[in-house]
Amino acid sequence: MAEFIVAKIDEIPNGTGKVVFAGDKPIALFNINGTFYAIDNTCAHRGGPLGEGDLGGTIVTCPWHGWQFDVTTGVSPFGPTVEKYEVKLDSQTQEIKVVVP
């Protein structure tokens, strides 16, 4: 497993998401009430960028075809899931780290 610094805490306001990179892997990172969640950025349906999707509660909607995923689990009501990643916060440096296998 590898740990990557992907953003600063203040770069992702509450209720928003952003595409970040763990090495060369695109990750969709979301802030929900100060808790950060990371899932694979690539939609399991047609490869849309989930980090650019609309976030409603814990559900992100893919901007390409409307597929939805729970950012806390990576599960979709439509079937396929996306990978979820561990997120670590460093309170001293204000860095967000994502752990990928």
Q: Which domains does the chain have, with CATH numbers?
A: 2-100 (2.102.10.10)
pLDDT band at residue 27 using 50, 70 and 90 as cut-offs: very high
> Pick from 10, 11, 85, 16: which is nearest to 55 by CA?
16
pLDDT in tens, 46-100: 899 999 999 999 999 999 999 999 999 999 998 899 999 999 999 999 999 999 9
> Pick from 72, 64, 66: which is nearest to 31 by CA?
72
Residues 36 and 13: their CA atoms lie apart, in Å, by: 10
Q: Other C-beta atoms within 10 Å of 93: how many? A: 11
What is the model's pTM?
Answer: 0.95
Structure tokens at 71: 């950012």
Higher pLDDT, 6 or 47: 6
